[in-house]
Amino acid sequence: MITLVLTACPPGLRGDLTKWLMEVSPGVFVGRPSARIRDELWLRVLEQCRDGKALLVYSMNNEQGLEYRVHNHDWHPVDVDGVTLMLRPAAQTEPTRSTGWSNARAMRRARRPR
């Protein structure tokens, strides 16, 4: 069983993949082709996808029961003690802005009797 997720790929590629896989949602394909067909479809995706993103998850005879392939994707498979996990990039946070009050003011407020 395979699941193929395409993002920002040409419509012709989606039409080409529907010959072998079923499109259950826009850009999401599932099917049960042989390993040879799966590899040929992945090569076709790599050739035609260009700047788009592709993620392939397929059944494999290992502890997890699946394997990953990625192309131009933000998430990357990483092996951790024999288990493949998807590494998500850290969220980009904006630098914190100061409130405009100095440390001296905070110290004065702390010493002031209440």
Domain ranges of the chain: 2-89
Rounded to whole angstroms, what are the CA distances from 108 to 92, 99, 101, 103, 111? Answer: 36, 17, 12, 9, 5
User: What is the pLDDT at residue 105?
Assistant: 76
| CA count, 13 A, side-chain hemisphere, 102 | 3
Residue 94 pLDDT class (50, 70, 90 cuts): low
Res 47 pLDDT > 90: yes
Mean pLDDT over the full length of the chain: 89
| Gap between the Cα atoms of 27 and 16, Å rounded | 12
In this structure, are residues 72 and 51 in contact, taking their beta carbons and an 8 Å threshold?
yes
pLDDT single digits (tens) 10-38? 999 999 999 999 999 999 999 999 999 99
Q: Which residue has the higher pLDDT, 91 or 86?
A: 86
Rounded to whole angstroms, what are the CA distances from 67 to 7, 64, 99? Answer: 20, 8, 48
CATH of 2-89, one of 3.50.30.50, 2.40.50.140, 1.10.3720.10, 3.30.70.240: 3.30.70.240
Residue type, 33: P
CA angle 73, 34, 38 (to 5 degrees): 20
User: Which whole number is the average pLDDT over 78-84?
Assistant: 89
